[in-house]
Amino acid sequence: MIRMNLTRRIWLSFSALLILVALSMAIIYPMYIQGTLTEETYRIIEQAQNRQVNPFSDQFTPDFDDESAIIDPAMRETGHLTVIDRVISARQMSVPPGAAIDVMMEEAEAQEAETARYELVYEGRTLFYVIQQYQSSDEEAYLISFMWDSYRDTLLNSLWGNFIYLLILTTAFTLLPAIWLTRYLRKPLRLLGSHFEQIAKRNWKEPFHWKGDEDFQKLSDQFELMRQNLIRHDRSQKTFIQHASHELKTPIMVVKTYAQSVKDGVMPKDTVEESMDVILQEANRMDKRVKDMLYFTKLGAMKQETINREKIVFGELAYRLEERYRLQRTELNFIVQGADVTFYGDLEQLQILLENLIENAMRYAEQNIWIRAENGVHEVTLFVENDGEAIPEEDVHAIFDPFRKGNKGQYGLGLAIVKQIVELHHGQHHVENNDHKVSFQMRIPHKKERRQQGEVSSPCTPKICKEYITQK
């Protein structure tokens, strides 16, 4: 397929339309005009013939009035031949050639109707004639009225020339809207192309607003929405890199400082073992941050794939996590409710979801942490609640953002990973302060998705999920 820009397409479309109209008229117009003029020629001949037979026929033959004729009869000279007992006498103009008269005589003798039309081609010219029978002194007579085609052809050529002139004039006027349309489309499209070029160069600071045409205005609004999304994505990417660097910088500095001190023989702690414990703790912290970032980016990159939903008994998962985390803060009470609730979801992902919510609750809880599930008509809701300090209202809407700083000054990806997992299950996430508790609520739809043959069963590959769960 030939590739061309919009301007050339517009010109090509208008040109093709004009050529199609011109060809249609060039074929139909001459045929129609020629047939009309031939019919008019016969009418003029018959009118002149009636005047020869009856000079007063104008009063009794309204069908042949001059006003109804396309061509004025006065401008056409009509010849007449009278044949009585095979004796030919001419009236007015010159007599046709003898061979033509012989053909006329044969047609007249063979004619049965009172009046008939004939056409004779003689030496490249066409002779139109009408033969009318009448009685003259009890003898059968014929009046032959004729006319050559010279005037018809001259008039046809004149009309054809007028048609060509009209076609040229029409083409000129038709091209005016084509020029206007081209200029009308070129400016906004060039401006939009320029902005796209800037976007390709990662320069999306300049906005694009088009006022006027509704379609172009809608296009500019869509472009502006895309630009704003790119700005937000770029800002979040830079923020992610900035916070990731900060999260890795602190443990690296601690490890480096302690290692250099041990090397220099200066013990930061009382013993070498205690100093090594600090190094190991910071290394584990750095390892956790790296795995969080890998898992977070992996979930974001695989949103379009189908997850592996399997039947989950909430109690089995909740009690296993409760047993693990009870040892970390023995003063806390873990309360599991709704243990008999069953639903479908990705077991490994939902375990990571609950782990992150419980770890977040453990930072703020004073005495109790509730882990419960409620079964609804269309969804199951997972709750992780704690009796700690309420979340400030201005922070509620952004608490699931990556590297959001909590009220204890900690950054992290835990709640951002929770949000990603809920969205992969086509659910909803919510947090609120109620009854002296902070309540995190995750709604997971009941609908069980079927895996299509050949699809990746889960956006969380076994290796990544196992590594992530193991380090938790």
| CATH code of 100's domain | 3.30.450
Is residue 221 located within the same domain as residue 109?
no
155, 170, 190 — which closes off a domain?
Answer: 155
Tens digits of per-residue pLDDT, 206-251? 787 777 667 777 878 888 888 888 887 777 777 767 666 766 777 7
Whether 421 and 354 have beta carbons less than 8 Å apart is answered as no
In a domain, 206, yes or no: no
Distance CA 335, CA 276 (A): 37
pLDDT band at 282 (very low <50, low <70, confident <90, very high): confident
Closest of 123, 130, 141 to residue 104, by C-alpha: 130
Is residue 377 located within the same domain as residue 277?
no
Is residue 321 located within the same domain as residue 401?
yes
Residue 449 has pLDDT above 50, yes or no: no
In a domain, 198, yes or no: no
Whether 366 and 373 have beta carbons less than 8 Å apart is answered as no
DSSP assigned state of 206:
S
Q: Which DSSP string corresponds to 49-71?
A: HHHHH-TTGGGT-GGG-GGG-SS
* Structural domain that includes position 435: 302-471
Domain total for the chain? 3
In a domain, 167, yes or no: no
Tens digits of per-residue pLDDT, 293-333? 777 777 766 666 677 889 999 999 999 999 989 888 889 99
In a domain, 328, yes or no: yes
In a domain, 409, yes or no: yes
Note the pLDDT of residue 460: 39
362 vs 404 pLDDT, higher one: 362
pLDDT band at 67 (very low <50, low <70, confident <90, very high): low
Is residue 231 located within the same domain as residue 312?
no
Is residue 128 located within the same domain as residue 261?
no
155, 175, 206 — which closes off a domain?
Answer: 155
240 vs 335 pLDDT, higher one: 335
Q: Which DSSP string corresponds to 223-272?
A: HHHHHHHHHHHHHHHHHHHHHHHHHHHHHHHHHHHHHHHHHTT--SSSSH
106, 130, 155 — which closes off a domain?
Answer: 155
Distance CA 456, CA 307 (A): 8
Is residue 45 located within the same domain as residue 146?
yes
Distance CA 427, CA 444 (A): 5
Highest mean pLDDT among 4-8, 35-39, 154-158: 35-39
Cα dist. 163→36, 37, 175, 312 in Å? 16, 16, 18, 84
Is residue 248 located within the same domain as residue 345?
no
In a domain, 203, yes or no: no
What is the CATH number for 255? 1.10.287
Is residue 272 located within the same domain as residue 334?
no
Note the pLDDT of residue 451: 39
Is residue 307 located within the same domain as residue 275?
no
In a domain, 243, yes or no: yes
Note the pLDDT of residue 472: 47
Say what the pTM is: 0.48
What is the CATH number for 392? 3.30.565.10
Distance CA 11, CA 374 (A): 66
pLDDT band at 270 (very low <50, low <70, confident <90, very high): confident
Measured over the CA atoms of residue 341, residue 342, residue 347 and residue 349, the dihedral's sign is negative
In the block, tokens 């009796």 appear at: 387
Distance CA 162, CA 404 (A): 81
Is residue 447 located within the same domain as residue 354?
yes
Is residue 330 located within the same domain as residue 431?
yes
Tens digits of per-residue pLDDT, 54-66? 766 554 444 445 5
In a domain, 449, yes or no: yes
Is residue 306 located within the same domain as residue 429?
yes
Note the pLDDT of residue 322: 92
Average pLDDT of the chain to the nearest whole number: 77
